[in-house]
Amino acid sequence: MSEQLERLGKLPLRDNLRGISPYGAPQIDVPVLLNVNENTHGVPVDVQEAITKAVSEAAVSLNRYPDREFTELRTALAEYLGHNLVADQIWAANGSNEVLQQILQAFGGPGRSALGFPPTYSMYPLLASGTDTSYIAGTREADYALSAESAAQQVAELAPNIVFLCSPNNPTGTGLGLDVVEAVYEAGEASQTIVIVDEAYHEFAHQGTPSALTLLPGRERLIVSRTMSKAFALAGARIGYMAAAPEVTDALRLVRLPYHLSAITQATALAALRHRTALMADVEDIKVQRDRIVSELTRMGLTPAASDSNYVFFGGLEDSHTVWQGLLDAGVLVRDVGIAGHLRVTAGTEAETTAFLVKLEELLNSTPSSN
């Protein structure tokens, strides 16, 4: 990397891109991949077939540009989300990363700032630097919780143009109460702060967990972003979306590239939305594996964080890097998020989860843990 950085340094790069590394978890080919919070259950066969058929139908007209407004997809996403949302309130792009980038392009930029609360999704600062938005790292409590009072106070003091609230938070997996969203929104009144609630993993939340979508009426600076990469098992298709006031979608139209959502992408998303029964059954199964991981890690004397996502963040490891390497040597790839004593693991299929738990316990018995 350093040789690469040196070569890059010779180019007339923008100052805020100097010295930074591109985002990317290691892509290592091992049997059990539990490192990037993908949907481990694969694409159900009926969804695969529906996508194949829809894409082959779309192929007939690929000489034409796609529907720039992707109206059918926005309508289907509004129907999926419920909460009386309508197509005018929905926007989509190539992954929720692109949605977030467009929000920064429209509401951030030179002389403007975005606030996040680390440890949180590591793309937020990179999206900020890519759009020349200054990134402010807020603070959490020692146990990584974020209270309404503390979050609101930081927003009031720092007056950012944009604030990222990740719920459930990546990497910790824990959801935020809606009181935090409400308090942050109110605290951002004076600075007209755009509040993004990143609900990429919302479908994995425990039953009854309310979504920030319920707060949208009357809050035109609130944006709730979602993705089809996780619950819909479509990380490879690149489809993310958001719901907000119609004027927010109009703002994003100012910065999106023309025809940014290909006809293939639109057809894929629509087919998956129409055939979501099997996908939602897999989500339930993943939640069972997630809860199994939490209880098994607790039994092993480790300290997993409460999880409303498809992954578990856990501490209590004496030497997390050695454990990470030991798991990798056994063909199980998990994520080292750079927090000492902690690792993050995606909930796998039953067999993958078993492989992870068995190997981890073996390693703990040979490597002393801090507990």
**CA 304 – CA 67 distance, rounded (Å):** 45
Which of residues 164, 198, 224, 312 is near ligand PMP by CB under 6 A?
Answer: 198
The strand ranges marked E within 3-148 are 32-33, 90-93, 113-116, 134-137
Q: Does 268 bind ligand PMP (CB under 6 A)?
A: no
Which among 232, 181, 252, 183 is positioned nearest to 211, based on CA atoms?
A: 181
Q: In the numeric block, which tokens belong to residue 268?
A: 């894929």
Other Cβ atoms within 10 Å of 352 Cβ, number? 20
Which of residues 32, 33, 37, 188 is near ligand PMP by CB under 6 A?
Answer: 37
Other Cβ atoms within 10 Å of 338 Cβ, number? 10
| Contacts of ligand PMP in 302-341 (CB under 6 A) | none
Q: Which is nearer to ligand PMP, 240 or 326 (CB)?
A: 240
| Number of residues lying near ligand PMP (CB under 6 A) | 13
Q: Does 240 bind ligand PMP (CB under 6 A)?
A: yes
Exposure letters 257-288 (e unless 16+ CB within 10 A, then b): eeebbbbbbbbbbbbbbebbeebeebbeebbe
Which of residues 121, 135, 204, 356 is near ligand PMP by CB under 6 A?
Answer: 121
Q: Which is nearer to ligand PMP, 201 or 324 (CB)?
A: 201
**CA 227 – CA 144 distance, rounded (Å):** 24
Using CB under 6 A, which of the segments 90-98, 146-154, 244-252, 312-320 binds ligand PMP? Answer: 90-98
**Residue 363 vs residues 299, 335, 350: alpha-carbon distances, Å:** 15, 16, 20
Whole-number minimum distance, CB 313 to ligand PMP, in Å? 12
Q: Which is nearer to ligand PMP, 37 or 193 (CB)?
A: 37
Separation of CA 240 from chain center: 10
Q: Does 266 bind ligand PMP (CB under 6 A)?
A: no
Q: Where are the alpha helices (DSSP H) in 218-349?
A: 246-253, 263-274, 276-299, 320-329
Q: Does 166 bind ligand PMP (CB under 6 A)?
A: yes
Which of residues 8, 20, 145, 235 is near ligand PMP by CB under 6 A?
Answer: 235
Which of residues 89, 154, 170, 193 is near ligand PMP by CB under 6 A?
Answer: 170
**CA 201 – CA 187 distance, rounded (Å):** 26
Using CB under 6 A, which of the segments 95-103, 180-188, 329-337, 356-364 binds ligand PMP? Answer: 95-103
Which of residues 227, 249, 268, 353 is near ligand PMP by CB under 6 A?
Answer: 227
Q: Which residues bind ligand PMP (CB under 6 A)?
A: 37, 95-97, 121, 166, 170, 198, 200, 227, 229, 235, 240
